[in-house]
Amino acid sequence: MAHPTDPNCIFCKIVAGTIPCFRLHDDAQTIAFMDINPANEGHALSVAKGHWPTVHDIPADVLGAVAQTAQRVSKAVHKTLNPEGINLIQANGPGAAQSVPHLHIHVLPRWKTDNLAINWHPSPGDMAKIKALHERILANMG
Ligand code: 5GP
Ligand code: ZN
């Protein structure tokens, strides 16, 4: 089946083969390759072949395929680098710092000392506020 594409999208160009990549995986629905601006050594991306900008646009089965590819890549990265941890990160929209509006999951090896600014420090929340938001989100679960 044909995927939606955007001729101006960098990841669509990689999927089409008009821009090169360091490919790790390729199947009918997904592609994975090394990130060329790595946040850490071994940073890779699992990418949908079709041009769907966010988790809200992409068909659920394709999102599942992107997650499976991220798992495959993550296992290989773990085996290769043995990092202290790996974050799977997926950004939607400018407030989440998404820079390429074509759905992808980052496979990001982590070390305790890497000081990457994607961590926050958990502290106990206001249970009444959490409960109220739980009710509002639950009502929109569909
Ligand atoms: P986002 O900010 O959308 O979550 O992540 C986009 C990622 O794509 C960034 O980590 C960026 O380094 C990577 N990226 C942008 N352009 C290219 C490219 O041409 N090739 C590769 N391999 N990665 C890219
Ligand atoms: Zn695209």
Whether ligand 1 lies within 6 angstroms of the CB of 10 is answered as: yes
**Spatial distance between the Cα atoms of 125 and 132, rounded to a whole number of angstroms:** 12
pLDDT in the model for residue 120: 72
**Spatial distance between the Cα atoms of 7 and 4, rounded to a whole number of angstroms:** 10
Residue nearest to atom 4 of ligand 1 (CA): 98
Per mean pLDDT, which range of 19-28, 103-112, 114-123 is the poorest? 114-123
> Confidence band (pLDDT; 50, 70, 90) for 2?
confident
Q: Which helix (H) or strand (E) holds 46?
A: strand 44-48
Sign of CA dihedral 61, 63, 64, 69: positive
**Spatial distance between the Cα atoms of 90 and 38, rounded to a whole number of angstroms:** 15
Segment 48-78, tens digit of pLDDT: 999 999 999 999 999 999 999 999 999 999 9
Among 102, 104, 121, 134, the active-site one is: 104
* pTM given for the model: 0.93
Domain boundaries 10-139, corresponding CATH code: 3.30.428.10
